């Protein structure tokens, strides 16, 4: 099980259908764009964790807002409401504001990312810009759950992010992801740190993630 598969596995058919209706797209197109967005966000996070300051910043984000509980009600997250007691509905907390997460991860590169993903997915830039903040809390939620339930340290999380980015550039999702990451993040720059993670460590972390997320 790899990290991108875990992210993609969070999108049930119902959740994907609702998101597709929200942005005005077919489910197949939404799923394709989601894969590229997940990889782009992982690439952005990998860039942030390439030094100690970035790791410290990510740690602070996780400590403050992202323990993985968002994954327990993704439909509530994408619709903007969560179920309270009885039939009550409550607004989703501001901590899960996808726009804020995007600003931290991508900053002023959001439109550049949307343009690349639009070209590969067939969705408009406007649709991609609507989709990115919906998916950003899922990325943080998966990382948060891996940390809180799997006991995975920040160094291992940084290695997972960097290794996932490298694998996406070199294979797996092929030229599509390579063009997205290369175009937005300049390509190549994040590949070298990923090689620091030994294969045995990668296998161990993969097993931990599989246990947490069901081995899908």
Q: What confidence tens digit (pLDDT) does each residue in 37-89 have? A: 999 999 888 888 878 888 888 898 888 888 888 888 889 888 876 555 444 44
- Whether this prediction's pTM lies above 0.85 is answered by no
If we measure between CA atoms, which residue out of 37, 44, 36 comes closest to residue 107? 44
Q: What does the pLDDT average to over 12-37?
A: 94
SS (H, E, C) 29-49: HHHHHHHHHHHHHHHHHHHHC
* C-alpha span between 104 and 84 (Å, rounded): 30
Match 């942030």 to its residue by tokens: 48
The total number of residues shown for the chain amounts to 216
Return the number of other C-beta atoms located less than 10 Å from residue 62's C-beta.
Answer: 19
Query: What are the DSSP calls for 165-211, one per residue?
Result: HHHHHHSSSHHHHHHHHHHHH-SSTTHHHHTTS-HHHHHHHHHHHHH
> What is the token pair recorded at 119?
């070209």
9: enclosing H helix or E strand:
helix 3-9
Strand 89-91 and strand 81-83: the pairing is antiparallel
pLDDT digits (tens, 9 = 90+) for 169-215: 776 555 555 666 666 666 544 444 334 444 444 565 667 667 777 75
Q: How far is CA 117 from CA 12, 87, 206, in A?
A: 21, 39, 27
Higher pLDDT, 156 or 180: 156
DSSP state of 201: H
Calpha distance 123→212 (Å, rounded): 33
Residue 150 has pLDDT above 70, yes or no: yes
- Sorted by where each begins, the domain ranges of the chain are 3-211
**Sign of the CA dihedral with 169 first, then 25, 75, and 100 last:** positive
Residue with tokens 């993969």: 206
């Amino acid at each position: 099980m790899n990290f991108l598969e875990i992210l993609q596995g969070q999108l049930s058919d119902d959740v994907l259908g609702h998101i597709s209706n929200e942005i005005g797209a077919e489910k197949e197109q939404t799923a394709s764009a989601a894969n590229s967005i997940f990889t782009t966000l992982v690439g952005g996070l990998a860039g942030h964790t390439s030094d100690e300051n970035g790791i410290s910043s990510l740690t602070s984000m996780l400590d403050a807002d992202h323990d993985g509980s968002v994954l327990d009600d993704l439909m509530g997250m994408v619709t903007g409401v969560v179920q309270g007691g009885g039939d009550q509905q409550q607004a989703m907390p501001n901590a899960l504001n996808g726009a804020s997460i995007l600003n931290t991860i991508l900053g002023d590169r959001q439109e550049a990312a949307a343009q690349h993903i639009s070209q590969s997915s067939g969705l408009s830039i406007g649709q991609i810009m609507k989709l990115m903040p919906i998916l950003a809390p899922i990325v943080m939620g998966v990382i948060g759950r891996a940390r809180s339930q799997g006991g995975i340290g920040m160094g291992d999380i940084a290695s997972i992010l960097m290794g996932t980015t490298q694998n996406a550039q070199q294979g797996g999702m092929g030229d599509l992801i390579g063009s997205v990451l290369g175009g937005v993040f300049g390509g190549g720059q994040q590949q070298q740190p990923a090689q620091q993670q030994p294969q045995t460590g990668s296998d161990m972390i993969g097993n931990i993630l599989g246990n947490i997320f069901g081995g899908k």
